[in-house]
Amino acid sequence: MPSNPTILMFQKDSDLLVSLHDTYHVIFVDVDISVDPYLFAQTIAQTYSSGKTQIAGTLAITDEASVVSAYVSQFLNLSAPSPNSIFNAQNKYAFTQTVSRIAAHLLPPTKLIDATSQKVSLSYPIFIKPVYGVASQHAFTIASQKELHHVLSTHVYTNQTTYDWYDQFYKRESPDHFSTSVSYLAQPLITGKQYTVDGFVYQNAVTILGYTESILTPDAKSFARFDYPANLPWHQTDEIEAFLQIYVRKTHYNNAGFNLEFFITEQNEVKIIEFNTRISSQFIPLFKSQYEMSVPMMMAQLACGTYPNITKKKIFNCTSSLVYRESEDKNVLTVPTQDQIHTLYTSNPHLLHIDILVKEATKLSDYRQDSYSFRYAKVAIGADTREEILTIAKDLTPQKLGITLR
């Protein structure tokens, strides 16, 4: 029997989770999206309900894992959000309906459309995204009614199995179910600055970990990097945090991490985009530069029913997570070995984390991508100033990372 508390985590192990292993016995379970999420979770719960291995909590830092974690925790009577609170966030139409009831002024005008929609009663340009989506996949900026019709009539979904899996989840949790792979939300294209706030809920109270600013590529269609910590006026953070406290109480989202994406418009108004039922995994290395404990460790404590240790310990004043992208699909010829990555870490103390998203002898299109570009690596950097980070980033070319594309 393990001496450390046992937690179930619904993903593969990774170097971002290394801090967990000294304190917890972690059982990693891959989510099988070919099986109904409720039935899959029921099978997992039955496996661990005999008492031979006492489960202290479940931990999720991906969307699919959040669904399974909620069901398993419900079966095992563990501390976690309810499955319906996960539905109310991950189904973007359900989320907008909730926001419209509790803080309509924070929500941009929103229309539900589908593949048969010929027009939408919004002024162009507009932004459309699926009822379920991740990493800006299948999301589009639309300039005209003609372009809307073209996208809706010709776009082909990838990862259809994932959307079918979510349809099963949504159908179980809501009688007003809309198919994820044919339903979109349409909103006016918002201009301004985009941010993410990460935090957690413990016993119905919200704690904020930090705000991150999203920096777009020159064409404003993909993310180039994320800067932490972001500086926002106190009256805007107060407005966001007041909303969050109302939202989690209304939806009964409790005892888990979250992130909320939002805009500060050119008119200096807060406009909420979406609530994600997990912490931002890409920002884990950024928060580690400001906190004594890693975010996965915080979330593990939370999953086991205790308030996390959020003691501050500043290492760098500024951090950024850079995204390496190509505008066209390419073949992956080489990626760095573990030895090469280790050498990069030891030769540059400003490197916080290197995440290679692709493998040799594959194509960039083999991986989950947004609608306009192909990402292949993420690199987190820390320094005293943002200018220093940008200088380091300019020198850290794909070739220096050991990546060759053609």
Q: Residue 162 is which amino acid?
A: T
The pLDDT of residue 163:
84
Question: Tell me: the pLDDT tens digits for 336-386?
Answer: 999 999 999 999 999 999 999 999 999 999 998 998 999 999 999 999 999
The pLDDT of residue 115:
76
Q: Which CATH number fits domain 318-406: 3.30.420, 3.40.50, 3.30.70, 2.30.29?
A: 3.30.70
What is the widest separation between alpha-carbon atoms in the chain? 63
Overall CATH class of domain 109-188: alpha beta
CA 114 – CA 8 distance, rounded (Å): 37
For the whole model, what pTM was predicted? 0.95
- Helix (H) / strand (E) containing 153: helix 145-154
The pLDDT of residue 361:
97
What residues in the chain have per-residue pLDDT under 50?
Answer: 1
Tokens of 1: 């029997």
Tokens of 100: 């419209």
Query: What are the sequence ranges of the domains in the chain?
Result: 6-83, 109-188, 318-406
Overall CATH class of domain 6-83: alpha beta
Question: Which phi and psi (to 5°) does residue 251 adopt?
Answer: -100, -5
The pLDDT of residue 255:
96
The pLDDT of residue 229:
97
Q: Residue 268 is which amino acid?
A: N
Asked if the domains at 6-83 and 318-406 fall in one CATH topology, the answer is no
The pLDDT of residue 175:
74
The pLDDT of residue 158:
66
Question: Which phi and psi (to 5°) does residue 291 adopt?
Answer: -125, 150
